[in-house]
Each structure stands twice: as structure tokens, then as C-alpha cells.
Amino acid sequence: MILALAGGVGGAKLADGLMQLLGDELTVLVNTGDDFEHMGLTICPDLDTVTYTLAGIAEPSTGWGVAGESWAFLDQATRLGGPSWFQLGDRDVALHVLRSERLRRGERLTEITADVCCRLGIRAQVLPMTDAAVRTIVHTPQGKLPFQEYFVKERCAPVVTGFAFAGSESAAPTRELDAALADRDLAAIVLCPSNPYVSIAPILAVPGLQQRLKQRGVPIVAVSPIIGGAAVKGPAAKMMRELGIEPSALAVAEHYRGFIDGFLLDDADAALLPRLAPLGLAARAVPSLMKTSADRRHLAEAVVAFAAELAAGR
């Protein structure tokens, strides 16, 4: 059994590789700090990216949304004066409408997600990081921006000076997460190659969760989202520069220092390996770019083998 922490596209790809390998012996704990209310709907972009990816229906050109979308809803909504900056495809809207209605009726996000995953034939367990509303806020010199306004509306252009996870103080881990953590067969915890600041950090900000993951006593392994000083996708490297950190896999390892036991970086960054040992980390270089489904599986195999090696050495 593996517990994988994931954000959007990169995290979803590794989760897919892990599911190819482990089937239902995988729980994916997903960031919900990106969630927002839009046109009266509750949208959960990372949860949906993971769900669509694991269901094999994600749009390959972007990694988010449903493959082969049509846009009649958005076209008509725009014509009627609605916002057009966030692209909601017709198939995708079905999930937002049904989920929003179920949330309004008082169902928990965890239950709704489990039902959706079951209906889409997903074998792994997909869990939102919490059922509470946590919203990532991006601090910029011009003020504070809700995450999707920063990410999609402003195309990540504003300089970031910090982040807040509104509502996380009163968020709690769910009983489904408690059960996954109590599973005697839990063998490793994996931090997927997701943005450390806005994908993994909101998950670890759920009160008590970081300590509980650490105290669980199984290897915690992170995969670098930075290759050759650049993010595979998204603004992670830009954020690092703006926060005064030289973007590199080494900087990601330093960010997770004290929490993780092992670090996987890309073969392209193998020269950094000698600089990781002083951090008290086991580290390996592997091919980590996931262009094909086989790439996802190969990276998952490397992660699982590395975690097993760390467990054996304890």
C-alpha cells in the first residue's frame, strides 16, 4: 500500500503510473487548495485532474479537463455576459454541477469523490486532503490573489512574495485518511512531482498531518518537479526565483529537508547527487519525464523500488 500526495498534472501522471503498478493498493491524497467557487459551482481542479487522469479520460494536450471536450456551455455563458477566463468544457461541467449540488445537500467532498471515482472505474482510492474548504491565496506586491485568479486569469505573471492557505487552521484530516494511515500494509509515502509551494504545501498545512505522516515510520520519498533548473509544467521555477531561491532539484530537496527520507531527481540532474548526501538524504537519479503511459509506470517502479530499498535499510 502506498500513499501518494499529489497536486495537478505532474502529480496525476505519477499517480497513474503507481495505479498501473499497484491497482487498489494506492491512495492518492490530493491538494484542494486550488478549489474555488465560480459561476455558483465548486470547482476542484487538482482533484478533477487526478480523477480524469486515473480514469484515462484527461485531455492529453493540457493534462486537465476531459479529452475531446466541446465548449457550448462556455460559449453561451460568455454570450450572456458570464466570465470566460476559466475554461469549463461541457463534459467537465457535469461533474461541477453534480458535485456542487451534493455539497449543498451536505455530503462530504470525500464521499462525492469516492462515488465519482467508482463510476469512472478508478481502482485507486482518491481522497481530498480534507473535507473543509481551504483556499490557497497568492501574495504579490499588488495584493493577495485567490489561486485560480493568479494561475489562470493572470497567467502566473504577478511576482509572488508568499502564500497562505485560508481555512487550513480549522481543517482536519478525514476518517478515510485516518484509515489509510492506520493501514498495517502502508509501505511508503510519496510526494509526487508537484509544485512544493502550492500543491504539496497546502496538504502538509492540514493541522497535524505532517507530523502524523512522519511519525507513521515508513519511508517518505519525494520526486523532483524541477529538471535542469526548470519546472516540467507550471510556475514552480518562477516562484522559486521570486522567493529568492535558485531553482533546482537540490533546492526542492532542501525545501523538504527533515521531512523526507529519499529524493528522486532526473538523470539530467545526476551531477547534483553528491550535494544531496550532506542533507542526510538518500538520493537517486532516474528518468523522470513522463511523456508516455509507459514513462509513468517506469517512474512508479523506480519510486516503489527506492522506497523498498530505504525500508530494507532501516
Least separation in angstroms between residue 235's CB and ligand FO1 is 9
> Which of 46/261 has CB closer to ligand FO1?
46
Nearer to ligand FO1 among residue 167 and residue 212 (C-beta)? 167
Indicate which single residue of 20, 27, 32, 49 sits in contact with ligand FO1 (rule: CB under 6 A).
49
For ligand FO1, how many residues bind (rule: CB under 6 A)?
A: 16
Query: Around Cβ 105, how many Cβ atoms within 10 Å?
Result: 8
In the bound state with ligand FO1, the residue whose beta carbon lies nearer, of 130 and 148, is 148
What are the strands, taking DSSP E only, across the chain? Answer: 2-6, 26-30, 36-38, 41-43, 125-128, 135-140, 143-146, 162-166, 188-191, 220-223, 226-227, 230-231, 262-266, 282-286
The residue among 230, 221, 233 whose CA lies nearest residue 49 is 233
Of 29 and 281, nearer to ligand FO1 (C-beta) is 29
Distance of CA 35 to the CA centre of its chain: 12
Q: Which stretch binds ligand FO1 (CB under 6 A): 81-89, 101-109, 164-172, 237-245?
A: 81-89
Per-residue buried b or exposed e for 155-180, using 16+ beta carbons within 10 Å of the residue's own CB: eeebebeebebebbeebebbebbeeb
Nearer to ligand FO1, 103 or 270 (CB): 103
Q: Does 70 bind ligand FO1 (CB under 6 A)?
A: no
User: Where is 112: in which H helix or E strand?
Assistant: helix 109-119
Site for ligand FO1 contains 92 (CB under 6 A): yes
Report the C-alpha gap between 17 and 295 in whole angstroms.
8
> Which is nearer to ligand FO1, 219 or 225 (by Cβ)?
225
Residue 165 beta carbon to ligand FO1: minimum distance, rounded to whole angstroms: 14
235 scored as a contact of ligand FO1 (CB under 6 A): no
Q: Which residue has the cell 522559486?
A: 240
Amino acid identity of residue 208, one-letter, is G
Q: Is 151 in the site for ligand FO1 (CB under 6 A)?
A: yes
Residues of the shown chain interacting with ligand FO1 in the complex, contacts defined by CB under 6 A: 7-8, 34, 45-46, 48-49, 64-65, 86-88, 92, 148, 151-152
